[in-house]
Amino acid sequence: MPSLTRAEATARAALLTVDAMEVDLDLDRGPEVFGSRTTIRFTCHDPGGRTFVDLRPRALHAVSLNGAALDPASLAEGRLVLTGLAAQNVLEVEATMGFSHDGQGLHRSTDPADDEDYVYGHLFLDAAPTVFACFDQPDLKAPYTVAVTAPEGWTVLGNGGATVTAPGRTELATTPPLATYFVTVCAGPWASVRDEHDGIPLGIHARRSLGTHLREQAGHVLETTRACFDHYHRLFGIRYPFGEYHQVFVPEFNAGAMENPGCVTFRDTMVFRGAATPDQVLQRSNTIAHEMAHMWFGDLVTMRWWDDLWLNESFAEYMAYRAVTEVTEFADAWVEFGVVSKMWGYAAERAPSTHPVAGSPAPDALSALGNFDGISYAKGASVLRQLIAHVGDEAFTAGVTEYLRSHAFGNGELAEFRAAMEVASGRSLAAWSAAWLETAGADRLAVEHGVLLRTPPADHPADRPHTLDVAAFAGGRELARVDVVAECDRTPVPGLDAVPPGAIVVPNASDLTWAEVSLDAATTDALVEGLADVPDADARAVVWVALLGAVHRAEVDPRTALAVFAAAWPRETSSAVLSRVALLVTTQVVPLFLPPAEQEPALARVADAADELLARAAGIRGDAGSALAVLAARVWARTGSDTDRLRRWAAGDGIPDVLEGDDDFRWGVLRRLATLGRLADDEIEAAEAADRSLAGSLAALGVRAVRPTSAAKEWAWGRLRDDTELSNHAALAVGGGFWVAPDPELVRPYVDRVGDLLVGMSARMGDDALSRVVTAMHPTRLVEEATATASGAILARADLTPGVRRAVVDADHELREALASRRRFG
């Protein structure tokens, strides 16, 4: 089916105004289909003209325009042409729609814990026509009035406040104008906790089987929600405009969360079944703050077209970290931003798919999917921090507020935002915007002989001014810190001449700007002995990001990074740094950049470091010690090779007290046993029987796929290729274990078949879901020239969807980074 082009959207928006949307859904027709009746009231600014409405049903039963019946057979490729439009029009559509199992459209999922069904709507990016007829583009906003018939005993939630009008019948309050992709309905036997704050009704909801965990964690979730509402009200001076505020933790969700006005959906793994480390709680709090920021950036004011996605995501990302830093217990949240979000963003900048923050080409809706990446999120947020350094926080806040007020319930674009900021700051931002927002690429920053060197990328030259600091550390002390504004390629840094040899010198030490940092050779040599003693967590995060980035660029031997990890990681204090660095070392540095013969010895070094951290945690009382113990035990469980200890841990013997009864941790241990070829079928079946949850079912799929046998790989491949009922998360679970193999010959025969597999899956799975599966199923872990050749052949295919192609491009780039490193370092 054709993807809506920008030219088509522009023409349709000039022709139409959508005055009202009325949607009636019948979810009580069984597990496969639902009924959909839509009434669209719209104005045509050129009476007699023609347009089309978007609709992708299982069966179209009846259509009428202004009382005249239209032929349902005229629907073609998801478009129903409308001709002879009047000035005022009423379109009525009755159809049968299909529930999805890929996290897009109206997704239906069965919880194996109790066999209860749940439905939620995720209409991003172009899935709305699979639920109701609509003009599906972000600048044709309209008020929605939604009614839902559902099985008795279900709770129905949506963008408007719910009123039960009869058994199984719920009507939702009419909303302010919404873009189509923000509309949602969440229905099922939810466990719920309700509250109220500042006149706003609040609700948090999850599957009934998660009810106990939801109630235990509700206090913290609601406390964060209240604090963020107060913060945004103070900051913007504009009250939350969408009535009630529900947060629904839903199963098998593709993204982290979605900012549906009044009814935000979250991945339900954020309701923790077991121990949660501080970085996990921070990530949940940050996600709450991020989605709430969208109520203003994205929902109240929506980008006119997808090329201005940054007006949604960059602002929400920046505002979220600002909020959690200022009003929650996570005063060091920017450390997590640096080591998680920015690491993601710098990887996106290195890839061939890099693009500007703003104005990235999006000729059609599906092509925009690839721009939901670390550039639109992390780089955009970093650029906003630089904008504040450029114009001042007062002018920034005033400009943002004016932009929101003047475009409320409408749409905006870069030029309009920039105009508001120029009025507020009293200066032209044309050159600044061109360099920072409209040009791709990250500068490189390095310090040599007391001079800060700025090197723009050759492929994307720009004159980007950087406001930052440079710091030096030695012996556990900060020796110097110099604020710098780098407006040219060489900027003297006074005071560094007094820094002794062997000090750790960190450009951008407070992580204030967007640039890849290159550490000098003396600093790199000093990291094994000195990194753990650097007293500034931001600076340590910058160093880790710089070191791991240099591994990816084939500038630093991966063995050096492993040596720094073994020495510094067990002494780290930041939960975010501990968690993310360990993940990257075990999933990227070891399997991609080290030769196969060195991988198990490298994992043994990681396991030894985890044991060091466990020993350290044992000497720390209270929550801090427990958090370190959880982090250490999780790392050991995925790297240790002592099968006797792994079996004891799987039985709950000898594990830290905080992990007793933690099913997710037990599955992690079982996965490692399976990876080592030490887990039998009956043991997997027994573990599944003991954990009948959705999480347990998915974990069992991954455990089966990771086993190092030809039979296991054949089973996994067959499930991905042939199982038409395989959900998005089930496909991820199977794909995530497939390429793990101590003997490459187990998986080599499948390399040339990946392209056919992905194309076959695209027939039953949308791009939003499948692009994530591509990341798991690309043969990146088989770091061989033949794999690169096969990957290039996939990219040469003409039958890849835009989302799949973009995901393959990024995976191919990571493979080629690993090959370049191995060529250089052996």
Which pLDDT band holds residue 368 (cuts at 50, 70, 90)? confident
What was the pLDDT predicted at 11?
Answer: 97
Chain length of the chain: 826
Q: Which residue has the higher pLDDT, 798 or 826?
A: 798
Range with the lowest mean pLDDT among 273-282, 295-304, 338-347, 366-375?
366-375
Looking at residues 409-424, what average pLDDT do you find? 96
What was the pLDDT predicted at 754?
Answer: 98
Domain 1-189 is in which class?
mainly beta
**Helix, strand, coil percentages in the chain from 3-state DSSP, rounded to 5:** 50, 20, 30
What was the pLDDT predicted at 81?
Answer: 97
Strand pairing report for 301-303 and 410-412: parallel
Helices (H) and strands (E) in the chain, counts: 27, 28
DSSP state of 198: T
712/702 Cα distance (integer angstroms): 11
Q: Nearest to residue 378, comparing CAs of 326, 462, 321?
A: 321
Which pLDDT band holds residue 166 (cuts at 50, 70, 90)? very high
Q: Answer yes or no: is pLDDT of 678 > 80.
A: yes
Looking at residues 774-789, what average pLDDT do you find? 97
Name the average pLDDT for the chain. 96
By the 10 Å C-beta count (0-12 exposed, 13-18 middle, 19+ buried), 35 is classed as middle
Contacts of 310 (CB under 8 A, 6+ apart): 357, 358, 376, 380, 414, 437
* Catalytic residue list: 291
Furthest CA-CA distance within the chain: 85
pLDDT in tens, 85-98: 999 999 999 999 99
Q: Answer yes or no: is pLDDT of 811 > 90.
A: yes
671/267 Cα distance (integer angstroms): 22
Looking at residues 741-757, what average pLDDT do you find? 96
Element (H, E) at 710: helix 710-722
Q: Nearest to residue 384, comparing CAs of 357, 422, 347?
A: 357
What was the pLDDT predicted at 365?
Answer: 87
Residue 660 has phi, psi (to 5 degrees) of -65, 130
Looking at residues 461-471, what average pLDDT do you find? 96
758/770 Cα distance (integer angstroms): 8
56/36 Cα distance (integer angstroms): 11
517/507 Cα distance (integer angstroms): 7
**Contact predicate 766/1, CB 8 Å:** no
Q: Answer yes or no: is pLDDT of 498 > 90.
A: no
What was the pLDDT predicted at 497?
Answer: 84
Looking at residues 306-328, what average pLDDT do you find? 96
CA dihedral 127, 809, 5, 126 (to 10 degrees): 10
What residue spans define the domains of the chain? 1-189, 302-436, 708-826
Contacts of 682 (CB under 8 A, 6+ apart): none
Residue 488: beta bridge partners?
none
191/155 Cα distance (integer angstroms): 9
> Hey, what CATH topology would domain 302-436 get?
Neutral Protease; domain 2 (1.10.390)
456/441 Cα distance (integer angstroms): 8
Which pLDDT band holds residue 360 (cuts at 50, 70, 90)? confident
pLDDT in tens, 616-661: 999 999 999 999 999 999 999 999 999 999 999 999 999 999 999 9
**Contact predicate 548/587, CB 8 Å:** no
pLDDT in tens, 15-24: 999 999 999 9
DSSP state of 178: B
Looking at residues 29-37, what average pLDDT do you find? 97
108/252 Cα distance (integer angstroms): 9
pLDDT in tens, 114-161: 999 999 999 998 999 999 999 999 999 999 999 999 999 999 999 999
Which pLDDT band holds residue 552 (cuts at 50, 70, 90)? very high
Which pLDDT band holds residue 362 (cuts at 50, 70, 90)? confident
Element (H, E) at 471: strand 466-474
Q: Answer yes or no: is pLDDT of 370 > 90.
A: no
What was the pLDDT predicted at 2?
Answer: 87
Please give the full DSSP string across 659-674, using - where no structure is assigned.
Answer: GTT-HHHHHHHHHHHH
Which pLDDT band holds residue 372 (cuts at 50, 70, 90)? confident
Give yes or no on whether 1-189 and 302-436 have one common fold: no
708/677 Cα distance (integer angstroms): 6
Q: Answer yes or no: is pLDDT of 319 > 80.
A: yes
118/207 Cα distance (integer angstroms): 8
Looking at residues 772-797, what average pLDDT do you find? 97
Looking at residues 664-690, what average pLDDT do you find? 97
Q: Nearest to residue 582, comparing CAs of 598, 561, 600, 554?
A: 561
